[in-house]
Structures are given as C-alpha cells and as structure tokens.
Amino acid sequence: MFGVTALVFLILHLIPGDPAQIMLFGTNATPDQIVSLRRSLGLDRPLLVQYGDFVWRLVHGDLGVSFISQRRVAEEIGLVFPATATLALATMVVAATVGLGAGIIGAMYRGSWIDLAGTGFSVLGVAVPNFWLSVLLILVFAVRLGWLPALSEGGARGLILPSVSLGWGFSAIITRLCRANLLEALGQPYVSTAYAKGLRAGAVVVRHALKNALIPVVTLLGLQVGNLLSGAVVVETIFGRQGLGSLAVRAIQAKDFPMIQGVVLVVALVYLLVNLAVDVAYAALDPRVRYG
C-alpha cells in the first residue's frame, strides 16, 4: 500500500497539466487567480512536502477533499463503491458459473463437439475486448430486441449486460484453466481407485477431482480482481453506471489529485484483501495446507 501511494503520487505530478488551470478553464482567469488557486489547493509547495502531508492524513484515515466537488473523498467513494462492488460480485458469479460449468463439461467429454465448442468459446472470450462487447450487447439486446436497458438502471436487469460484458473474458480463462487442471486430476491414481470402487463419474469428478483442480482456479480469481476493477472503468462509462470506474474517469479528466489517489488506494486495498482471502481459502480446498 505504501508503494502504491508513492507511485500514484509521483505519476500524477509527472503528467502534464495544471489542476488549477483546468478548474478555471473557460473563466478568463488571470495569472494571479491561477496562482491563488494553486496556493489554496496546496499545489505550490514542494512535492516532498505534499507527499508527506498526504501520507500523514492517510495514516489518520483522511483521504482528503476533492478539488472539484469540495467534498471529502471518502464520502464520494462511499457513495459509489456499492455500485462497483455489486457489479464486481455479479461479474464473478457469471464468470465462475459459466467458466466452471464449461470447464467441467469439457473435461468430462474430452474431444467431443461439446469440448470443441467450449474451447472456441474460450478463445473468443479472451480475444473480444470489453468495450467492443459492451457496444455489441447494447446494439443487440437493448436496441434491436429491446429486452434489456441500454443504461445500467437500478435493479437486476440493469446488471445483466455489464456483468456479461465483463464476465465473458474471465469465464473463458476459467474454462481453459479448469478443463486443463481437471483433466490432470482425472488422470491421478486416486481417481482410478474411486472408479474401481464403483462410484459414478459425476461423483468422482465433484467429490474427488474437482477440489484439487479448483486450487489454481481460485488463485486465478484472486489475481483477476485487478483486471476486473480496471475493466469496470470502461464498462461503467459505456453503460452510464455510477461507480468507482466512472468516478475515476471524471477525476482523471479534471486532474483531481485527491480523488484519483483515493480511488486507486481503495482498489489496491480491495485487491490485497481478496488475495488474502484466496490464500486462506487454500486450506479449505486442500487439507494438506495448514496455517500455523
């Protein structure tokens, strides 16, 4: 987290553009007015002093005040975070359900047309970018068919298109990884022993092979949280969803330093916590893993 604070602060101040000039754009502001605004925002101080002040406030739980809205950054993030969290949860449900289902079926029917269809689905899901898929889903299901809203309205219906747009690529990766690991697990001696005991194929896969095959998949889910949150920036903007992604876009356009830093820190914290939960989940999946 400390590394994230230093890196984000440095990058923001290296990017060309003055927040004071952006805030006063179109007002015919004089140079004295720009200097006065920079002084009031604290941008006239040395970078090390600004960074030290930022870290000091951060240690005390203060993310600062937005340059644009003049509201506390923590309050602004708190208003939109539930929308992004809901979208991320719905996306993970779509990705895990479709990916695990397609991976298990592909492994059980290896070499069949079902397996080939799942492989094609995986390749297509990885190749199609989020922004193009989002536009395509809007054109087909909102404009042509009129089944779903083009904008992400409140309720479950407004979550379907953005969650599918984000979840397809993740589900494709999960499908390939789950299939490969499940095929490897099904070739182990303990699986042959389970078949020799007379267990059905479904019971062997679910009760014996799947747990071992899921460990790399769970690792992937944790690592993909960062990509999920970064993809939400594009998807939330396209679907008009008010979340961390759209908030970050507005803050970047206005060079709202406190808001950008706050959003990045929240995303980094969520990423760290999710990967911590993934590490803990290993013990539930593999009895050989124990934490002392």
Clarify whether residues 187 and 251 are in a common domain.
Answer: yes
Q: Give the model's pLDDT for residue 87.
A: 85
* Model confidence pLDDT, tens digit, residues 177-189: 888 888 887 777 7
Q: pLDDT at residue 30 above 80?
A: no
> pTM score, two decimals?
0.76
Give a yes or no: residue 69 inside a domain: no
Q: Give the model's pLDDT for residue 150.
A: 77
The number of domains in the chain is 2
Q: Please tell me the least confidently modeled range out of 37-41, 76-80, 98-102, 286-290.
A: 286-290
Clarify whether residues 142 and 241 are in a common domain.
Answer: yes
* Model confidence pLDDT, tens digit, residues 233-254: 788 888 888 888 888 888 888 8
Q: pLDDT at residue 230 above 80?
A: no
Clarify whether residues 106 and 189 are in a common domain.
Answer: yes
Clarify whether residues 147 and 215 are in a common domain.
Answer: yes
- Counting residues of the chain whose pLDDT is more than 70, the rounded percentage is 91
Give a yes or no: residue 72 inside a domain: no
What are the helix (H) ranges across the chain?
2-14, 19-23, 31-41, 47-59, 73-108, 113-127, 130-137, 157-186, 189-196, 201-204, 210-238, 244-254, 257-285
Clarify whether residues 116 and 54 are in a common domain.
Answer: no
Clarify whether residues 100 and 187 are in a common domain.
Answer: yes
Q: Which amino acid, residue 156?
A: A
Tell me the two tokens of residue 12. 């923001």
